[in-house]
Amino acid sequence: QKEVEQNSGPLSVPEGAIASLNCTYSDRGSQSFFWYRQYSGKSPELIMFIYSNGDKEDGRFTAQLNKASQYVSLLIRDSQPSDSATYLCASSGNTPLVFGKGTRLSVIA
Amino acid sequence: GAGVSQTPSNKVTEKGKYVELRCDPISGHTALYWYRQSLGQGPEFLIYFQGTGAADDSGLPNDRFFAVRPEGSVSTLKIQRTERGDSAVYLCASSHQGAGGYYNEQFFGPGTRLTVL
């Protein structure tokens, strides 16, 4: 059974702080990893993807991948109240995307 | 450009009825996916099309669920003899490449909220 695990939260951070979201996956064959943001009542929106070990930065977002530990993370710098949402981690190998349940982030102004 | 569109946005039906949910993918995307999302859960894979053919239907929960994509663009998810447990948001996504590629950036539609009374 391929699984992606996330802490459901809520994770509360003050405005301007760094939010750190974590995810582990069970399938060692997973090759690509994705972070989606989902606002309440809306559909998932792709933020970043990563497939190589290390860090990948895009604006205020940094994705980190450690395949040996089967661990993916998303850092959000200078968190804003508009970042408050559920963040979904997903993995993919030669299989369809497997999603975690998501971590609810709340950025407090 | 236009994103993925889904109709209807909401569908309320009675137990035992038949429903059809429609998805219109991003133009040029060959891969199309259906997911189901229940409250507090991540999207759950149902079926994946590459072109007109269903490349992977392993996520369909039972034979009441069926999907088609006859011309390789618009897809319809069909649910027969609906049950209350089918109530969920049904999401459609599309991408340039199928699930076998390293790049699988899927773009989601707004979803159809199905309620079975």
The predicted structure's pLDDT at residue A96: 83
**Cα gap B78→B19, rounded to integer Å:** 6
Chain B residues near residue A95 by CB distance under 8 angstroms: 56, 99
Query: What is the rounded average pLDDT of the residues B67-81?
Result: 96
| DSSP structural state of residue B31 | E
SS3 category, A101:
coil
Closest CA to B7 of B112, B114, B113, B115: B112
Predicted pLDDT at A92: 87
- Considering only the beta carbons, identify the residue of B33, B99, B105 that sits closest to A49: B105
CB spacing of A96 vs B33 below 8 angstroms: yes
Looking at residue B98, its pLDDT comes to: 59
Nearest to B81 by CA among B19, B24, B25: B19
pLDDT over 70 percentage in chain A: 100
pLDDT tens, A37-82?
A: 999 999 999 999 999 999 999 999 999 999 999 999 999 999 999 9
Strand-pair partners of A74:
A21, A63
Distance CA B74, CA B65 (A): 17
* Closest CA of chain A from B23, distance in Å: 14
User: Amino acid identity, residue B23?
Assistant: C
